[in-house]
Amino acid sequence: MLCSRGVHSFISLVARTLSTYPSRYPHQMSSAVIQPTAAHTATVIFAHGLGDEGESWRGVISGEYENYRKPGELTIPARLPHVKWVFPDAPQQKVTANFGARMPSWFDLFGIPLQPGQNLDKVFEDDESMRNSVQIIDDLIEAEVKAGIPESRIVVGGFSQGGALSLATGLGGNGWRTKSAGDERKLAGVTVLSGWMPLKDKFQSRIAPYAKSVPVFWGHGTADVLVYYKLAEMSVEFLQQQLGISIHDQVGAPGINFRSYEGMAHASCKQEMNDLAAFLESVIPKQSQKL
Protein backbone atom coordinates (compact mmCIF):
# COMPACT_ATOMS: atom_id res chain seq x y z
CA MET A 1 0.00 0.00 0.00
CA LEU A 2 1.09 3.57 -0.57
CA CYS A 3 2.75 5.30 2.33
CA SER A 4 4.77 8.44 2.77
CA ARG A 5 8.48 7.88 3.28
CA GLY A 6 7.93 8.19 7.00
CA VAL A 7 10.25 9.61 9.62
CA HIS A 8 13.43 8.02 10.90
CA SER A 9 12.97 6.32 14.23
CA PHE A 10 15.87 7.98 16.03
CA ILE A 11 14.16 10.76 17.99
CA SER A 12 15.79 12.72 20.80
CA LEU A 13 15.15 11.87 24.43
CA VAL A 14 12.38 13.79 26.19
CA ALA A 15 11.73 11.95 29.45
CA ARG A 16 12.03 8.50 30.96
CA THR A 17 10.26 6.41 33.56
CA LEU A 18 12.60 4.11 35.49
CA SER A 19 11.43 0.57 36.00
CA THR A 20 13.53 -2.07 37.75
CA TYR A 21 13.14 -5.74 36.90
CA PRO A 22 15.35 -8.85 37.15
CA SER A 23 17.75 -9.47 34.28
CA ARG A 24 21.15 -10.89 33.41
CA TYR A 25 22.51 -7.34 33.17
CA PRO A 26 23.75 -6.04 36.52
CA HIS A 27 22.82 -2.38 36.06
CA GLN A 28 19.38 -0.90 36.43
CA MET A 29 17.32 -1.20 33.27
CA SER A 30 14.87 1.52 32.33
CA SER A 31 11.64 1.70 30.40
CA ALA A 32 9.44 4.47 29.08
CA VAL A 33 5.81 3.73 29.92
CA ILE A 34 2.36 4.79 28.72
CA GLN A 35 -0.12 4.03 31.48
CA PRO A 36 -3.67 2.94 30.60
CA THR A 37 -6.46 5.47 31.10
CA ALA A 38 -9.09 2.78 31.72
CA ALA A 39 -8.97 -0.47 33.67
CA HIS A 40 -5.66 -2.16 32.84
CA THR A 41 -6.43 -5.46 31.08
CA ALA A 42 -3.64 -5.80 28.51
CA THR A 43 0.02 -4.85 27.96
CA VAL A 44 2.23 -4.23 24.93
CA ILE A 45 6.01 -4.52 25.35
CA PHE A 46 7.75 -2.77 22.44
CA ALA A 47 11.52 -2.93 21.78
CA HIS A 48 13.28 -0.11 19.91
CA GLY A 49 15.92 -0.46 17.20
CA LEU A 50 19.71 -0.29 17.27
CA GLY A 51 21.10 2.86 18.89
CA ASP A 52 17.68 4.14 19.91
CA GLU A 53 15.82 4.21 23.23
CA GLY A 54 12.36 3.42 24.48
CA GLU A 55 11.36 7.06 24.88
CA SER A 56 11.49 7.59 21.12
CA TRP A 57 8.78 5.02 20.52
CA ARG A 58 6.75 6.20 23.51
CA GLY A 59 6.49 9.52 21.69
CA VAL A 60 5.50 7.88 18.42
CA ILE A 61 2.81 5.66 19.96
CA SER A 62 1.44 8.42 22.21
CA GLY A 63 0.82 10.64 19.18
CA GLU A 64 3.28 13.39 20.08
CA TYR A 65 4.72 13.42 16.54
CA GLU A 66 2.22 14.46 13.86
CA ASN A 67 4.17 12.60 11.17
CA TYR A 68 2.70 9.36 12.51
CA ARG A 69 -0.94 10.39 12.91
CA LYS A 70 -3.52 11.82 10.53
CA PRO A 71 -5.11 15.15 11.60
CA GLY A 72 -8.09 14.58 13.87
CA GLU A 73 -7.36 10.87 14.21
CA LEU A 74 -7.44 9.26 17.65
CA THR A 75 -4.07 8.38 19.12
CA ILE A 76 -3.27 4.70 19.59
CA PRO A 77 -3.57 4.97 23.42
CA ALA A 78 -6.98 6.62 22.96
CA ARG A 79 -8.07 3.71 20.78
CA LEU A 80 -6.70 1.26 23.35
CA PRO A 81 -7.29 2.93 26.75
CA HIS A 82 -7.08 -0.41 28.59
CA VAL A 83 -3.53 -1.10 27.38
CA LYS A 84 -0.31 -0.37 29.23
CA TRP A 85 2.71 0.20 26.97
CA VAL A 86 6.25 -0.62 28.09
CA PHE A 87 9.22 0.56 25.99
CA PRO A 88 12.39 -0.92 27.51
CA ASP A 89 15.85 0.48 26.82
CA ALA A 90 18.38 -1.96 25.40
CA PRO A 91 21.62 -2.51 27.33
CA GLN A 92 24.75 -0.69 26.23
CA GLN A 93 27.07 -3.17 24.53
CA LYS A 94 29.72 -3.39 21.84
CA VAL A 95 28.40 -3.62 18.29
CA THR A 96 30.67 -5.11 15.64
CA ALA A 97 28.87 -3.27 12.83
CA ASN A 98 29.72 0.00 14.62
CA PHE A 99 33.45 -0.81 14.79
CA GLY A 100 33.05 -2.26 18.27
CA ALA A 101 31.71 0.95 19.81
CA ARG A 102 29.26 0.62 22.69
CA MET A 103 25.69 1.67 22.04
CA PRO A 104 22.13 0.65 22.97
CA SER A 105 21.70 -2.74 21.33
CA TRP A 106 19.63 -5.85 22.01
CA PHE A 107 22.34 -8.03 20.47
CA ASP A 108 25.57 -7.70 18.55
CA LEU A 109 25.13 -7.10 14.83
CA PHE A 110 27.94 -8.15 12.50
CA GLY A 111 27.08 -5.89 9.58
CA ILE A 112 24.83 -3.10 8.28
CA PRO A 113 22.91 -2.89 5.99
CA LEU A 114 21.15 -6.22 6.28
CA GLN A 115 20.76 -7.80 2.86
CA PRO A 116 19.67 -11.41 2.41
CA GLY A 117 22.12 -13.92 1.04
CA GLN A 118 20.99 -16.93 -0.94
CA ASN A 119 18.50 -18.94 1.14
CA LEU A 120 18.94 -16.55 4.09
CA ASP A 121 22.43 -17.95 4.64
CA LYS A 122 23.97 -14.72 5.98
CA VAL A 123 24.33 -14.50 9.76
CA PHE A 124 23.94 -10.97 11.13
CA GLU A 125 23.34 -11.65 14.82
CA ASP A 126 25.18 -12.90 17.90
CA ASP A 127 23.28 -15.74 19.52
CA GLU A 128 24.36 -15.27 23.15
CA SER A 129 23.51 -11.57 23.41
CA MET A 130 20.18 -12.17 21.68
CA ARG A 131 19.29 -14.92 24.15
CA ASN A 132 20.17 -12.57 27.00
CA SER A 133 17.77 -9.96 25.60
CA VAL A 134 15.01 -12.53 25.10
CA GLN A 135 15.36 -13.07 28.84
CA ILE A 136 15.01 -9.33 29.45
CA ILE A 137 11.69 -9.29 27.57
CA ASP A 138 10.64 -12.48 29.38
CA ASP A 139 11.32 -10.77 32.71
CA LEU A 140 9.05 -7.89 31.68
CA ILE A 141 6.35 -10.36 30.67
CA GLU A 142 6.68 -12.10 34.02
CA ALA A 143 6.32 -8.77 35.84
CA GLU A 144 3.05 -8.11 33.99
CA VAL A 145 1.77 -11.61 34.77
CA LYS A 146 2.54 -11.10 38.46
CA ALA A 147 0.61 -7.81 38.26
CA GLY A 148 -2.45 -9.71 37.07
CA ILE A 149 -2.23 -9.54 33.26
CA PRO A 150 -2.38 -13.04 31.72
CA GLU A 151 0.02 -13.99 28.93
CA SER A 152 -2.98 -14.22 26.59
CA ARG A 153 -3.38 -10.43 27.01
CA ILE A 154 0.27 -9.50 26.38
CA VAL A 155 1.78 -8.55 23.01
CA VAL A 156 5.50 -8.22 22.28
CA GLY A 157 6.71 -6.11 19.39
CA GLY A 158 9.53 -4.01 18.12
CA PHE A 159 11.16 -1.99 15.37
CA SER A 160 14.12 -3.24 13.32
CA GLN A 161 16.46 -5.04 15.74
CA GLY A 162 13.66 -4.95 18.29
CA GLY A 163 11.36 -6.62 15.78
CA ALA A 164 13.80 -9.48 15.30
CA LEU A 165 14.05 -9.84 19.08
CA SER A 166 10.28 -9.86 19.46
CA LEU A 167 9.89 -12.54 16.81
CA ALA A 168 12.32 -14.78 18.71
CA THR A 169 10.57 -14.02 22.00
CA GLY A 170 7.00 -14.47 20.78
CA LEU A 171 7.42 -17.47 18.45
CA GLY A 172 10.45 -19.11 20.06
CA GLY A 173 10.53 -21.88 22.62
CA ASN A 174 12.96 -22.62 25.44
CA GLY A 175 15.93 -22.88 23.07
CA TRP A 176 15.94 -19.08 22.92
CA ARG A 177 15.96 -18.71 26.67
CA THR A 178 18.50 -18.70 29.45
CA LYS A 179 15.84 -20.20 31.71
CA SER A 180 12.82 -22.31 30.84
CA ALA A 181 9.55 -20.52 30.02
CA GLY A 182 9.02 -20.23 26.29
CA ASP A 183 7.41 -23.57 25.47
CA GLU A 184 4.51 -22.67 27.76
CA ARG A 185 4.37 -18.91 27.10
CA LYS A 186 1.87 -18.27 24.33
CA LEU A 187 1.19 -14.55 23.99
CA ALA A 188 -1.70 -12.64 22.43
CA GLY A 189 0.41 -11.58 19.47
CA VAL A 190 3.68 -10.31 18.00
CA THR A 191 4.37 -7.14 16.01
CA VAL A 192 7.39 -6.71 13.74
CA LEU A 193 8.09 -3.30 12.17
CA SER A 194 10.95 -3.16 9.64
CA GLY A 195 12.40 -6.33 11.15
CA TRP A 196 13.58 -9.75 10.05
CA MET A 197 13.78 -13.37 11.18
CA PRO A 198 17.08 -13.81 13.04
CA LEU A 199 19.46 -16.79 12.93
CA LYS A 200 17.57 -18.95 10.42
CA ASP A 201 18.90 -22.36 11.43
CA LYS A 202 18.54 -21.73 15.16
CA PHE A 203 15.11 -20.16 14.67
CA GLN A 204 13.89 -23.32 12.96
CA SER A 205 15.18 -25.61 15.70
CA ARG A 206 13.95 -23.36 18.53
CA ILE A 207 10.41 -22.70 17.32
CA ALA A 208 7.70 -22.98 19.99
CA PRO A 209 5.08 -25.74 19.61
CA TYR A 210 2.29 -23.13 19.49
CA ALA A 211 3.97 -20.77 16.98
CA LYS A 212 1.48 -21.47 14.17
CA SER A 213 -1.39 -20.22 16.32
CA VAL A 214 0.14 -16.84 17.28
CA PRO A 215 -1.14 -13.75 15.39
CA VAL A 216 1.71 -11.68 13.91
CA PHE A 217 1.53 -8.20 12.37
CA TRP A 218 4.55 -7.52 10.15
CA GLY A 219 5.06 -4.21 8.35
CA HIS A 220 7.98 -3.20 6.12
CA GLY A 221 8.80 -0.35 3.75
CA THR A 222 9.74 -1.16 0.16
CA ALA A 223 12.44 1.55 0.13
CA ASP A 224 14.26 0.28 3.24
CA VAL A 225 18.03 0.24 2.60
CA LEU A 226 19.08 -0.66 6.16
CA VAL A 227 17.00 -3.81 6.63
CA TYR A 228 16.22 -4.64 3.03
CA TYR A 229 12.60 -5.32 2.08
CA LYS A 230 13.74 -8.51 0.36
CA LEU A 231 15.10 -9.81 3.67
CA ALA A 232 11.68 -9.35 5.25
CA GLU A 233 10.01 -11.07 2.29
CA MET A 234 12.39 -14.02 2.45
CA SER A 235 11.96 -14.25 6.23
CA VAL A 236 8.19 -14.49 5.87
CA GLU A 237 8.48 -17.04 3.06
CA PHE A 238 10.78 -19.19 5.19
CA LEU A 239 8.38 -19.10 8.13
CA GLN A 240 5.58 -20.17 5.81
CA GLN A 241 7.35 -22.80 3.72
CA GLN A 242 9.67 -24.35 6.29
CA LEU A 243 7.76 -23.86 9.56
CA GLY A 244 4.18 -24.01 8.31
CA ILE A 245 3.12 -20.58 9.60
CA SER A 246 0.28 -19.22 7.48
CA ILE A 247 0.39 -15.90 5.61
CA HIS A 248 -2.93 -14.09 5.20
CA ASP A 249 -4.76 -10.76 4.98
CA GLN A 250 -7.02 -11.27 7.99
CA VAL A 251 -6.11 -8.86 10.79
CA GLY A 252 -5.52 -10.61 14.10
CA ALA A 253 -5.85 -14.18 12.82
CA PRO A 254 -3.23 -16.85 13.67
CA GLY A 255 -0.24 -16.58 11.35
CA ILE A 256 1.41 -13.58 9.70
CA ASN A 257 -0.40 -10.55 8.34
CA PHE A 258 2.37 -9.00 6.18
CA ARG A 259 1.91 -5.39 5.06
CA SER A 260 4.11 -3.59 2.51
CA TYR A 261 4.42 0.22 2.55
CA GLU A 262 5.36 1.58 -0.85
CA GLY A 263 8.20 4.11 -0.76
CA MET A 264 8.75 3.90 3.00
CA ALA A 265 12.37 3.75 4.14
CA HIS A 266 13.69 2.33 7.45
CA ALA A 267 10.99 4.09 9.42
CA SER A 268 7.29 4.02 10.15
CA CYS A 269 4.37 6.06 8.82
CA LYS A 270 0.76 7.02 9.53
CA GLN A 271 -0.73 4.07 7.66
CA GLU A 272 1.48 1.55 9.42
CA MET A 273 0.56 3.01 12.81
CA ASN A 274 -3.12 2.76 11.90
CA ASP A 275 -2.65 -0.86 10.80
CA LEU A 276 -0.78 -1.63 14.02
CA ALA A 277 -3.62 -0.19 16.11
CA ALA A 278 -6.19 -2.25 14.19
CA PHE A 279 -4.17 -5.41 14.85
CA LEU A 280 -3.99 -4.68 18.57
CA GLU A 281 -7.71 -3.91 18.72
CA SER A 282 -8.24 -7.40 17.33
CA VAL A 283 -5.85 -9.43 19.51
CA ILE A 284 -6.22 -7.54 22.81
CA PRO A 285 -9.69 -5.96 22.61
CA LYS A 286 -11.43 -4.34 25.52
CA GLN A 287 -12.63 -7.07 27.85
CA SER A 288 -16.27 -6.07 27.37
CA GLN A 289 -15.94 -6.97 23.69
CA LYS A 290 -15.07 -10.55 24.63
CA LEU A 291 -18.06 -11.17 26.91
Q: Domain holding 211: CATH number?
A: 3.40.50.1820
Q: What is the domain count for the chain? A: 1
Q: Is 32 within the bounds of a domain? A: yes
Q: Is 76 within the bounds of a domain? A: yes
- 19/212 Cα distance (integer angstroms): 33
Q: Is 2 within the bounds of a domain? A: no
Burial 119-150 (b: 16+ CB within 10 A, else e): ebeeebbbeebbbbbbbbbbbbbebbeeeebe
Q: How much is the pLDDT for 228?
A: 95
Q: For this structure, is 266 an active site residue?
A: yes
Q: How much is the pLDDT for 291?
A: 37
Q: How much is the pLDDT for 208?
A: 93
Are the beta carbons of 158 and 45 closer than 8 angstroms?
no
Are the beta carbons of 215 and 170 closer than 8 angstroms?
no
Model confidence pLDDT, tens digit, residues 167-201: 999 999 888 887 766 567 899 999 999 999 999 88
Q: Is 291 within the bounds of a domain? A: no
Q: How much is the pLDDT for 120?
A: 72
Q: For this structure, is 160 an active site residue?
A: yes
- 43/154 Cα distance (integer angstroms): 5
Domain of 145, in residue numbers: 7-286
Q: Is 262 within the bounds of a domain? A: yes
Model confidence pLDDT, tens digit, residues 251-287: 999 999 999 999 999 999 999 999 999 999 999 999 8
Helix (H, G, I), strand (E, B) or coil at 261: strand
- 289/19 Cα distance (integer angstroms): 31
- 183/191 Cα distance (integer angstroms): 19
Model confidence pLDDT, tens digit, residues 70-123: 777 889 999 999 999 999 999 999 999 999 999 999 999 998 999 887 767 777
The answer, yes or no, to whether residue 65 has pLDDT greater than 60, is yes
Q: Among residues 224, 235, 268, 275, which one is catalytic?
A: 224
Q: Is 163 within the bounds of a domain? A: yes
Q: Is 272 within the bounds of a domain? A: yes
Q: Among residues 160, 166, 194, 235, which one is catalytic?
A: 160
Q: Is 1 within the bounds of a domain? A: no
The answer, yes or no, to whether residue 26 has pLDDT greater than 70, is no
Are the beta carbons of 257 and 215 closer than 8 angstroms?
yes
